[in-house]
Structure 1
Amino acid sequence: MEVSERSGSSGSAVVHAPEFVGREREMAELARALAAPPTAVWIEGEAGIGKSRLLREYLAWTAGRADGAGRVLVARCPPLHHPQTLGPLVDALRQATETVAGLPLSPLAGALRPLFPEWGGDLPAAPGPAEDATAVRHRVFRALAELLARLDVAVLAVEDVHWADEATLEFLLFLAAGPQSIGLVVTCRPEDVVGGSLLRRLATRLAADSASAAGRLRLALGPLDVAATARLMSSMLAGEHVSDRFAGFVHQRTEGVPLAVEGAVRLMADRAHLSFGADGWGGCRPDEIGVPATVRDMVLERLGRLGPEGRAVLQAAAVLGRPADEATLRAVTGLAAGRAQAGLIEALGGALLDDDGWGQVAFRHVLARQAVYEATPASRRRTLHRRAGRTLEALTPPPVGELADHFRVAGEKSEWSRYAEWAADLALDSGDETTAGARLHDLVVNADLRPASILRLIRKFPFASFAGPARFRELVPPLRAALASGACTPGQEADIRAQLGNVLLFMGEDDAGRAELKRAIPHLGHDPAEAARAMMRLGWPRSSSWPVSSHLRWLERAAELEVPSMTAADRVGFAADQATARLMLGETDGWALVARIPDDADAPAEWQQITRANVNIGDMAMLWGRYAVAAQRLGTALVQADRRRYRRYESVAMVTRTHLDWLTGAWEGLAERAAALAESEDILPLARLELLFVVGQLHAVAGAYGPAAQQLRSVLDGEVGSGALADSMEPAAALARLALSAGRVEEALEITGEPADLIARKGTWVWASDLGPARVAALAAAGRLEEAARLTAAFARGLRGRDAPGPRAGLATCRAILAEARGEHASAAGLFARAAVAWQALPRPYEALLAQERQAGCQIAAGKRETGLSLLVEVRERLIALGALGDADRVVACLREHGVAAKRPQRGGRRAHGSRLSPRELEVTQLVATGRSNRQIADELFLSPKTVAQHLSSAMRKLGVSSRTALAVLATGAGTADAQFAQGDVPDRPSGGVTTKTR
């Protein structure tokens, strides 16, 4: 043990390692929470606040207990440039066991082979191919959970989770949500969580106060107070008293952050600025002592006091960024054995490095490591990274992710490329497309590769996992440079050009992208599958200004192309793409192609394509106004996606279903659901715009016209900017309607002008359900009736022979608006009545009510005052019931203008509180009473089990019960309908049966 030495009133001090002080309450709560796993503990706080120390003290306490509280496995997330897929967990498991031989593992454990190649002889055979990256990842997660259980791990602790790779975060979410019996502890610095990180979702799942959630504990560590600071300082000075004045001075300078307090004491001891007097330890002259305010400055001052060998060891440890033994550190420093050992002793004595007792040395805190790394000259860093790479190459298996990063900084392009591609391949094998994409993107953009290498890498790109136009934009220069190099064969040039075309299309630069695809296709004879895909993309009409005939020619060429290598799954996907493209073009034969897509399959890859087909067909059915078909297809897709964990398809289906709910008037709770979905990290940017469109429309119908216009303008700009021209029609129409209601006719004309011209040029009149009426109304308001008539006639010709109920309802509305503008009020009233019937048949009740409102106005203008006013009264009531309070206000104003007493609706709309259940909640509750499981209910109602669980949770909250059994008893006893009537509410539909979607 170190001894404090004092000589007289001033003397030198031997500084001890600090004791664990000021965290007694947190330690007790942590121990209590983990006494009976499974539980989840979230520990957060700023850098240096003591999160890792708290966890270490708990581990030391459990190690000394006699009752054997269960094994705790600690995984640490290093601050790597590109974290390795599941790297923290893999490293922790390797430390926990050298072999899995003898463990009773199921065949599922074969999915771990890419992560643990050294265990290949002991793991089961690799499982067969999975349907997509999500399924691969889920299989790996289940295998990891099984391995943790077989190793008797009771608690998994993950330190510095803010640096974890996405796959590790997803695994933690998997553990937190699943039935596993493993406790979970994570430490995190909230300020280092990047926007869009899955960690935010994990925080929501875990960071609940222990008082409000069983099995959940949130510990937010704050700074030490002055008294705790004094205790910490005293522990470092052999337990001797520290004067109040001195403790207050240090607390002020360090703000009570334990790491900074420790650094300040050590630095003052180094400077001989400590003295011992009658009041205990203090500063020689506290007011004149300058203690750096940041940990970085303290570390650098202490680094400067070391000799060259000590500094070399610290620099090597900083570059390695991982625990290392003496031999590894010596190899990276380049020092002789004796000098390296002396440097290590000096570095350990300076208390910046720590020995774990097993011969592994690492920085005691990441801030110290970062300060030393940043202070190391760049040329020296490159040398150290090169040595680190050469040294770590000898490990089995090699840490390919770290090797890629070391050689990248060292400027060793060949080794960087080899290990980065290897790391990307391992990530793809583990279902981690995000990490793989980052690695491949970095190589293609920054490694100055040959064309053949660029082509090989670009073919591996998981483009569906990319986000943001900037990342796509960065790929364009290296692809163009490869084409301009003159080093490509004609086949390679065509391959690269096809990939360039795809990238440009992803960016929304459609004309440029299509031009590249057209140039590539004649030279893709060596790869007919890629040629067919290129033709299909040229046939896709959503973001192109080409006419329908041009798209159809490419679709027909793709269909005629023989692709012998195409698998059964490829053929299903090809048929789905053909059907979707033709339906988007307004071609009725697309429905015949839909009928050829199978409902069932044997192979997982086929199931993936069938699920994707159902999502796309649901979207197209919505475009055509076949809402029953849309509901059935989307419901089927949600069930399929949930069963097979196709999370991407599930999220798209949920967004499209939310849009359908807006159209069909299922508005209760819709704004909250849409906003919550929009916050999800699973939602792609264009899908998020679709959700924000729904939110904007709900603002508009509630009468919040300013926020609605702002939201809809943002959506319209985003969709036009991304090239999603088909998707921009509805927001353009909605924005124009708001402008017209405010009397801004020119604005409405400007908004609808280009979209209407685009539809006319392309001939895609099935896109005009909303845009057509909005454009005709704007032209009519401007007195341009001949243009309005020509547009309406073209709309009618474009729908000839097409059974498209939605666009036909829009056409009926155009005809009514035109008649009203001509002053033909009696005729217009009849036409609006027909339009209302057409809208209601979809059903689209809001549009039907707006048509009836205009019908009533025309009746009044035609001299049928009583008939018109009576209809307006009915429209007002139904608008209020629907939740369109802003429109109801307008109708009330009209009624009052004609002398009819009418009340404005109470704000807040339809009540969604107390014991009143929504129709969907009522259906779900009644099915619970029959004994059905969530999955069975989901199958019957074409929902996902997750959505069923949300409805159940809401129903239980409203009815004041806390269990599924109590809910079932209430439903079969007093009855949910009675519970609703007790509140004086009238159900939206009869409560005696269950409504199912059309199959």
Structure 2
Amino acid sequence: MVWMASQRPTSVSVRTRSPKLVGREKELGTIVEVVTERPAVVLIEGEAGMGKTRLMTELAGRPELRGVRLLTGTCQPLRDPFPYGPILEALRSLSEPLGPLSPVAGVLRPLLPELAEILPPQPEPLADPAAERHLRFRAIRELLGACGPALLVLDDLHWADEDTRDLLRFVVSMMPPDLAVVVGYRGPFGSSFRSAEHARVTLGPLDVSAVRRLATGILDLPRVSDEFAAKLHESTAGIPFVAEETLRALKESAGSQPLGETLTDRLLESLEVPVLLREAMTERLETLPEPAVKLARAAAVLGVPIEAKVIGRLAGLAGDNLRSALLTAMDGGVLGEVDEDRYGFRHPLARKAVYDTISGPERTMLHGEALAALAGSPVPPVLQLARHARSAGRLDQWQHYAEAAADQATARGDTSLAIDVLQSLLSAGKLAEADVARLATKLSQIALRGFRRDVIATLEHVLEDPPHDPATRGTIRLSLGSLLVRTVGQLGRGRVEVEKAISELVDRPELAARGINLLAQPIDGLTSLAWHQRWSRRVEDVFDQLTDPELRLALTVDRIASRAHTGDGTAWAEFEALPEETSSVAERVQLARLWCNLADGQSWLGHLGRADRLVTEGTRRAIDAGALYAAGLVQGTRVRLDWVTGRWDGLAEQAEALRDKYSDLGPIVQETSLVLGALAAVRGEFAAAHRHLAETSVLAPEHGAIPVVLSAAGVLVRVKLATGDLAGALAAADEGMTVARRKGVWVWAADLVPAAAEAYAQDGRWDEADGVVEEFARGIEGRDAPAAEAALLAGRAALLAARGKHQAATVGFEQARERYAELPMPYPATGAQERAALSRLAAGDRSAIEELACAAESYERLGATRDAGRCRHQLRENGAWAPSQRGRRGYGRELSPREREVARMLADGRTNREIADGLFLSPRTVEQHVAKVLRKLGARSRADVARHLSTYALP
């Protein structure tokens, strides 16, 4: 049979596999346990690619089997297998010392000439072939028994000849006492040995968690996104071999592109089928009769699991011929029943491997037949029809069906699919101007529900062609500007595009209103609140002229969210007056945006219970409506809300994963970087804190979300003060206050003002210290901002403490602690508790010792190790430190919580002195911790800690 495959470019392929066994640890442990109690027989059953061979390879290297003689053999898929082939292969490697052998073993000399010096002389051959065969069986069993403790590992026994099977049955029926046998096979082969088995391991597909670990190992990444892992599992059916080959192909094709973030159908389709996977599928096809091959090729062209009769129509098969061919293809492992009466391939690369065997002309013909077969369906599958029309060269039909598929996806909220289809149409380059205008307009509208950086380039390309009328240009440009505003570093450019769009949309007031409304949003950049308010008044001027209910709702949503962000208490009442449900998808998108944006605003103001509920419900609404941008954005709010409310367990990992997933989405990058910087700061990891805070736009506020910038400035001031860098703290305070004054939304400065006041007071700049606090007080007056009110109390108390007015400062800090605790914001509440206790101690009140110890415990529960260390340092200074009464657990080979902190600092390149300063420990204590960390991690040096820590499983 000759296969006319599509031509592939010359390439070099290097086989890559996971550096460690993944997803089979339990099975391996069971096998080791069984074979150490000899005699034993273990059967390992699994389909091709499930990892039988890898499991047996790992078995051979286990330390429990040291001193056990390892004998390995593999059956080959030969037309005429050699009798006893795999067992003889295993025995050929034998060497002395062996136990005593009887003359019977000499019968093996012709079969094992390599062992002539070990084996006794060959006896005279017997006249009866059956008796001679029995003698060989006895000799092989005796030779295995003479090996002493031995493990016979035989792979792929489904390809064994009948003589080999009979021999193996003979051996396991009366096992030598020190022998263990492990056989791997697929299919019904193992039923012959079940009476002799001691254990049988059946290998099924890996779960999503194991596939994720496989991906991180092969791609050499610390993590991959949930979406990547789920898509990889779906596309490989969890088959280890297929997953490894897919990952290898991804790694080779990626170049400099980031891996581990998203895995799309388009990317999978563009992958070259790995050589080993293609060869495996070709081998299977070559064993099938022609009708079954035709059926497999027809299924490959159809591309999705489908009814047998449809596949048969393309293959020219029906009735008994179809049934016979289908059963043969299924028995051969090429096709499978994916769902009831729906047949296809287990994973996309298997389909692609078969598809690549079809010649170009035949593909075109089959796609045309598939188009005809599916077009008459009661509910035409327009997306499939579009694919078949394009592959059949019928471009008019392709455009028709593809646009219908995009409309269908848009209507049901499948934003990503709609964008994919419209992008493919616009990138074809063979459309009439009217078609380009219509499709680009659709893309520009749907793109605002999601965030896809590639859409920006498409829209820019469309706008390069000037003949479009102004309204069309304005529509497309408005979406382009909106997408740029969301992109890291593109805020100013995006606003310029929006202003251009407004001027082009003079005849489309409803669309112009969207642009005006976007410029009215005050969150981003250094433009003043007054500038945004001028645009807000323009929105109010046109609002009553608008008739589109979705647009009116969109403007209402943004008005409520903007007012809420700036502390306008009427916004919440207006939100509660809105209907909770609406009928159209577009309006559901707007309501989802409202819940998500309002969650963000309420979290900054300090209405944290409200924010928590809004995040949960907003996420659900955004996902249901296909509002992918809002769904992504609210995850950033969730991470920061967890930081503020003290839910810190696993928070750094969540923030890292979210930032990796949305690396182009400015608001999420900035918000997660703020959380990571703040977490690093409370652990005393100041270099990491500086690195993360730099990504919040605190150093380039014109590109950032100003609430994030001001909060980051507050963290930065505290980091500088903690490291004794007063000049740096003052500079950060000055820059932060400049931003706050330029923006004019003081409720966003709640994290900055107390820290800035502290820095100015330490430098003796009392006028500035007092001025900052009072300017803040005037700025939040009449605002609905509980967090800002608590911060004002903390700032005033800090100035009282700095002036030595300790009793008044104590009252102020206690009031601040109460307000923070009510919100709840446990970290600043504990900070106020600590400051109140220190003020009482400074006033001579020794009863504050207990309060200071409580603050240390609160810091420790949160995970603020440096702050806990500072409190305990103060307790020691006051002669009051005693170890926790809860007792100390023994950690054995695990790192203790303190050792983990030291390990993280070592990985960050910190010296012992820096670690001691960061954790308020003595240098001697740090030396002891460092020695334990190196020993427990198995690291050879301090520089080696980062590598070991990345793979260390925290308890």
TM-score range, shorter chain: 0.5 to 0.7
Aligned counterparts of 2:888 and 2:317: Cα–Cα separation in 1: 79
Q: Verify: 1:537 aligned to 2:518, yes or no.
A: yes
Q: Unaligned regions of 5+ residues in structure 2, if any?
A: 1-26, 28-44, 53-151, 173-181, 191-273, 890-955
Shift in Å at residue 838 of structure 1? 3.9
1:519 aligns with 2:496: no
- 2:391 is the alignment partner of 1:423: no
Aligned length: 630
Matched, 1:457 2:442: yes
Tell me which residue corresponds to 2:880. 901
Q: 1:515 to 1:309 in 2, by over 3 A?
A: same
Q: Does 1:401 align with 2:387?
A: no
Structure 1 position 769, deviation (Å): 0.6
Bigger Cα Rg: 2
Equivalent runs, 1:217-616 vs 2, <5 Å: 229-230=156-157, 232-233=158-159, 241=165, 256=184, 258=186, 294=276, 296-300=278-282, 317-322=299-304, 369-376=351-358, 385=367, 388-389=370-371, 392-409=374-391, 413-445=395-427, 449=431, 450=433, 451-461=436-446, 463-464=448-449, 466-467=450-451, 471-472=452-453, 474-508=454-488, 509-566=490-547, 571=552, 573-584=554-565, 586=566, 590-599=568-577, 601=579, 604-605=582-583, 613=594, 616=597
Q: What one-letter code is carried by the residue in structure 2 that aligns with 1:592?
A: T
Query: How far apart in 2 are the matches of 1:610 and 1:365?
Result: 38
Q: Percent identity?
A: 28
Q: Is the Cα contact below 8 Å between 1:892 and 1:902 reproduced in 2? A: yes
Aligned with residue 877 of structure 1, among 854, 858, 866? 854
Instruction: State the Cα distance separating 1:552 from its structure 2 match.
Output: 0.4
Tell me the amino acid that sits aligned with residue 880 of structure 1.
E
Task: State the shift of 1:538 in Å.
Answer: 0.5
- Is the partner of 1:511 in helix, strand or coil? helix
SS at match of 2:356: helix
Measure how far apart 1:553 and its partner are.
0.6
State the Cα deviation string for residues 290-322 of structure 1 (Å, max 9, x = none). Answer: xx9945325446768999999887655533335
Q: Which amino acid aligns with 2:570?
A: A
Determine which of 815, 818, 822 is the counterpart of 1:837.
815
Tell me how far apart the structure 2 counterparts of residues 637 and 363 of structure 1 sit (CA, whole Å).
Answer: 40
Give the Cα separation in 2 of the matches to 1:734 and 1:592. Answer: 31
The residue that corresponds to 2:145 in the other structure is none
Cα deviation for residue 482 of structure 1 reads: 2.2
1:768 Cα deviation after fit: 0.8
Greater CA drift, 568-577 or 495-504: 568-577
2:755 is the counterpart of 1:765:
no
2:649 matched residue in structure 1: 671
State whether residues 739 and 748 of structure 1, in contact with CA within 8 Å, keep that contact through their aligned partners in structure 2: yes
Question: Does structure 2 conserve the Cα–Cα contact (< 8 Å) formed by 1:839 and 1:848?
Answer: yes
Equivalent-residue separation in structure 2 for 1:699 and 1:46 (angstroms): 47
- Distance in structure 2 (CA, Å) of the matches to 1:576 and 1:380: 55
The Cα shift of 1:517 comes to 1.2
Distance 1:431 1:439 in 2: 14
Structure 1 gaps, min length 5: 1-25, 27-43, 52-224, 249-253, 263-291, 911-999
Give the 3-state SS of the residue equivalent to 2:649 in structure 1.
Answer: helix
The structural deviation recorded for 1:561 is 0.5
Deviation for aligned residue 1:488? 0.9
**TM-score under structure 1 length normalisation:** 0.51
- Cα offsets for 1:651-678 (capped at 9, x unmatched): 9879757755754xx64x6535897799
Paired AA for residue 454 in structure 1: L
**C-alpha distance in structure 2 between counterparts of 1:604 and 1:349, whole Å:** 48
AA aligned to 1:764 is V
Q: Could you say what secondary structure the match of 2:527 adopts?
A: coil
Deviation at 1:495, TM superposition (A): 1.0
Matches for 1:95-106 after TM superposition, within 5 Å: none
Partner of 2:869: 889
In the alignment, which residue of structure 1 is the partner of 2:126? none
Partner of 2:243: none
Is 1:709 the counterpart of 2:689? The answer is yes
What SS class does the counterpart of residue 696 from structure 2 fall into?
Answer: helix
Relative distance call for 1:819 and 1:368 in structure 2 (3 A) is closer
Cα distance in 2 for partners of 1:432, 1:656 equals 24
* Whole-Å separation in 2 of the counterparts to 1:710 and 1:379: 60
> Measured at CA, do residues 460 and 654 of structure 1 come closer, stay the same or move farther in structure 2, by a change above 3 Å?
closer
1:941 alignment partner in structure 2: none
Could you tell me which amino acid in structure 1 is paired with residue 721 of structure 2? Answer: L
Report the AA paired with residue 463 of structure 2.
L
Structure 1 residue 524, shift from structure 2 partner: 2.5
Distance (Å, rounded) in 2 between the aligned partners of 1:336 and 1:711: 65
Q: Distance in 2 between matches of 1:388 and 1:336?
A: 14
CA distance in 2, matches of 1:316, 1:643: 41
CA shift in 2, pair 1:794/1:348, >3 Å:
closer
- SS at the partner of 1:461? helix
Q: Secondary structure at the match of 1:866?
A: coil
Verify the 8 A CA contact 1:624 1:766 in the aligned structure 2.
yes
Query: Following the alignment from structure 1 to structure 2, what is the Cα–Cα distance between the partners of residues 552 and 743?
Result: 41
Q: Deviations over 1:742-776 (max 9, x none)?
A: 33446545665654432222222221111223344
Q: 1:488 to 1:859 in 2, by over 3 A?
A: same
Q: Which amino acid aligns with 2:874?
A: C
**Residues 1:411 and 1:765: Cα distance change in structure 2 (over 3 Å):** farther
Distance apart, 1:520 and its partner CA: 1.4
Residues 570-579 or 744-753, more deviating: 744-753
**Relative to 1, partners in 2 of residues 1:297 and 1:906: Cα closer, same or farther, differing over 3 Å?**
farther
Is the 2:153–2:183 Cα contact (8 Å) retained in structure 1?
no
| TM-score normalised by the chain length of structure 2 | 0.53
Work out the CA distance in 2 between the residues paired with 1:395 and 1:538: 48
Distance 1:657 1:313, change over 3 A: closer
CA distance change for structure 1 residues 255 and 541 in 2, over 3 Å: closer, same or farther? Answer: farther
Alpha-carbon displacement from aligned partner over 1:929-959 (angstroms, at most 9, x marks no partner): xxxxxxxxxxxxxxxxxxxxxxxxxxxxxxx
CA contact (8 A) 2:513 2:539 kept: yes
Quote the offset at 1:518 in angstroms.
0.9
Structure 2: how far apart are the matches of 1:639 and 1:612?
11
CA distance in 2, matches of 1:780, 1:619: 32
| Aligned twin of 1:825 | 804
- The 8 Å contact of residues 541 and 551 in structure 1, kept in 2 or not, is answered as yes
Amino acid at match of 2:455: L
The one-letter code matched in structure 2 to 1:533 is: R
CA RMSD, Structure 1 to Structure 2 (Å): 5.7
8 Å Cα contact 1:792/1:811 also seen in 2: yes
Contact 1:452–1:488 at 8 Å: present in 2 too?
yes
Letter of the 1:591 partner, please give it: G
Distance 1:866 1:350 in 2: 87
1:727 maps to amino acid: V
CA distance in 2, matches of 1:359, 1:812: 70
Structure having greater relative contact order (Cα 8 Å, sep ≥ 6): 1
- Cα 1:556–1:420, aligned 2, differ >3 Å: closer, same or farther? same
Q: Per the alignment, do residues 718 and 766 of structure 1 end up closer, same or farther by CA in structure 2, a change over 3 Å counting?
A: closer
Deviations 1:431-482 (CA, angstroms, capped at 9, x unpaired): 4334333333443455665431333422551643x35xxx32x222332232
